[in-house]
Chain A
Amino acid sequence: MVDSWVNESLVESAIAGDTDALDLLWQSVRRWVATILLAHKPNDADLDDLLQVVAMQLCRNMSELRDAKAFKSWLRTVAINVAREEGRKTTRRKRSMLRFVGMEQGNKPTQTNTVERIEDSDESNRVYLAAKSLPIGYREPVLLRCTRSMSYQQIGELLNLPVTTIETRIARGRRMLREILAQQEKQAENRKLEYRKQVPIAQQASGGAP
């Protein structure tokens, strides 16, 4: 069983070129690396592909790391950069496609979330997408806390923030999540009411047929 938190002697061995140590190290960190990717990646990017890119960068650049203590924050930065680069690529690709068919709408941000909202009908996806809409400062600790229960201490080390700040952000993030979901439910309810109001009007306009 691999230790679920970062073992510094493994990091030092991996920096020194020990491939077995690097392998073990990767196994111990890949879940939280994947969670960082989840927090930062565009919704339609493939998580496993991005994780593979991070693993590749880890292999190539690990030996350049000078301080084993800096490993966690370095790897987190790598993951964030990989996720953001994918986000930029996705935006560029979509814009160029729309430009090609003459449908680009200025610089309006795309709203891929809307489609995921349509496709994701079950409760867990609805909650996940609501969590993805949290501000990043809250999103990351809230999602990390869901990753086989990383402790506040571990999340704090990873994000380079005091434990008290992590605790407050998780608590506040959860409250925001409740509020977002409550608002979504309210909006859905309003749409239903609006629809019910409109139907009789439409029927009257078409000649009063039931």
Chain B
Amino acid sequence: MSTDHTNPNPSQDINQEEQASQPVVGLPGDERDVLISRVIDGVATSDDWKLFRAAAAHDASIWAELAETQQLHEVLSTAVDRRLAHVDQVYVSGGVIDDQPLRARLDIVSRWGGWAAAAAVLFFWFFGNPVQSTQNTNSPVTAGLIDTGMLLDQAQPDQAFNQYLNAGQRNGQVVGEMPEHIVIETRPMADGTIEVLYLRQIIERQIIDHAYREVFDESGNAVPVPIELSPALDTRF
């Protein structure tokens, strides 16, 4: 790490544009701050120290400022270090980024994306709105009754939501909830509280036996075309 080549007199370092507007007893504001910074950063010269002691003799509060700023710098360095903890694991191995996992994921998306879209279309066509379904005896609406005997319209939102998760996991429709909530926005309210808008992500699964691909006819209208499904030899991806 190279050493700093700073002017021994902080007041001469501060150019006109950077001059402080708030003079402090003993030393002008910026000069005082620069002196404190130099001491913290270990680049104070003997002249800086003389100036510092002279300032402290005039106004002892400079010592408290030094201690406080030093502590803030240490705390901030720790916070930055904590955030940089994993950056040493980001490599450009051999000059080529290893983006194989990313490309594999993109391949999967491009290969299965159409199917997923078709499956989504099929889901609504064949199952309809799950809430209105009468054939699905383990539907989220009735499942809660088994657990607690509480009707969903009497339950608190969190209770109803948990009933849905439990019942869904039992019948295999719900795989789980992603642990992290995604914060969309926060708004400070007039009463000092904070409104937080966030997403909760649930992963669900459905087994389908029919799928459709969406194609467009010559007039540009979307037309569903049945896809012939055949058993997969290896469904892992």
Q: Contact at B87–A31, with CB atoms within 8 Å?
A: yes
Q: Determine whether the beta carbon of A174 is less than 8 Å from that of B72.
A: yes
Which of these, B33, B78, B92, contacts A55 with CB under 8 Å?
A: B92
- Of B12-20, B104-112, B132-140, B150-158, the one touching chain A: B12-20
Is B90 a contact partner of A48 (Cβ separation < 8 A)?
yes
Q: Is B218 part of the binding interface, using a Cβ–Cβ cutoff of 8 Å?
A: no
CB atoms of B96 and A19 under 8 A apart: yes
Once A143-B80, A178-B68 are accepted as A-B contacts, the answer to whether A152 and B6 lie under 8 Å apart by CB is: yes
Q: Are A48 and B87 in contact (CB under 8 A)?
A: yes
Whether B80 contacts A30 by the Cβ 8 Å rule is no
Q: Is the CB of B3 within 8 A of A151?
A: yes
Of residues A34, A125, A191, which shows the largest number of chain B Cβ atoms within 10 Å of its Cβ?
A: A34
> With A44-B183, A48-B90, A168-B30 as given contacts, are A174 and B69 in contact (CB-CB < 8 Å)?
yes
Those 9 A-B pairs whose CB atoms lie nearest each other, nearest first: A19-B95, A171-B33, A128-B79, A171-B37, A124-B79, A114-B186, A146-B77, A164-B13, A22-B95
What separation, in Å, do the CA atoms of A173 and B102 have in the docked complex? 39
Which of B163-171, B187-195, B205-213, B221-229 lies at the interface with chain A?
A: B187-195
| Size bracket, chain B contacts | 35 or more
On chain A, the number of residues with a Cβ less than 8 Å from chain B's Cβ atoms is 71
Q: Which B positions have Cβ atoms within 8 angstroms of A?
A: 1-7, 10, 13-15, 18, 20, 29-30, 33-34, 36-38, 40-41, 43, 65, 68-69, 72-73, 75-84, 86-97, 99, 183-188, 192, 194, 196-197, 199
- In the complex, A172 has a CB within 8 A of chain B: yes
Interface mask (A148-183 → B, CB under 8 Å = 1, otherwise 0): 111111100000000111011111101101100100
Cα separation A33 to B90 with both chains bound (whole Å):
12
The CA-CA distance from A192 to B36 in the complex, in Å, is: 33
In the complex, whether A97 has a CB less than 8 A from a CB of chain B is yes
B87 and A164 contact, CB distance less than 8 A: no
Interface of A is mostly: helix
Task: Report which of A20, A52, A127, A171 forms a contact with B72, defined as CB distance below 8 A.
Answer: A127
Q: Identify which of residues 174-209 in chain A touch chain B, using a CB-to-CB cut-off of 8 Å.
A: 174-175, 177-178, 181, 191, 194
Residues of A bordering B, CB below 8 Å: 4-5, 14, 17-20, 22-23, 26-27, 30-31, 34-35, 38, 44, 47-48, 51-52, 55-56, 58-59, 94, 97-98, 103, 105, 110-115, 118, 123-125, 127-128, 131, 142-143, 145-154, 163-165, 167-172, 174-175, 177-178, 181, 191, 194
What chain A residues lie within 8 Å of B84 (beta carbons)? 31, 34-35, 38, 47, 147
Q: A62 — nearest CB in chain B belongs to which residue?
A: B95
**Cα distance A59–B72 in the bound complex, in angstroms:** 37
A-B contact pairs, 7 of them (CB 8 A): A34-B84, A125-B79, A146-B81, A153-B4, A164-B14, A168-B14, A174-B72
Chain A nearest Cβ from B163, distance in angstroms: 23
Chain A residue contacts of B90, Cβ below 8 A? 30, 48, 51-52, 55
Of the listed residues B69, B72, B88, the one surrounded by the most CB atoms of chain A closer than 10 A to its CB is B72
A171 and B186 CA atoms in complex are apart in Å by: 32
Establish whether residues B6 and A163, one from each chain, have CB atoms under 8 Å apart when the complex forms: yes
* Pairwise interchain contact B68-A55, C-beta atoms closer than 8 A: no
A56–B99 alpha-carbon span in the complex (Å): 9
* Whole-angstrom CA separation of A111 from B69 in the bound complex: 28
CB-CB < 8 A to B5: which residues of A? 153, 163
- Across the interface, do A123 and B37 meet the contact criterion of CB distance under 8 Å? no
Cross-chain contact B185 with A167 (CB below 8 angstroms)? no
Question: CB distance B97 to A59 under 8 Å?
Answer: yes
Alpha-carbon separation in the docked complex, A142 to B40 (Å) = 13
A51 to B77 CA separation, bound complex (whole angstroms): 19
B197 touches A103 (CB 8 A): yes
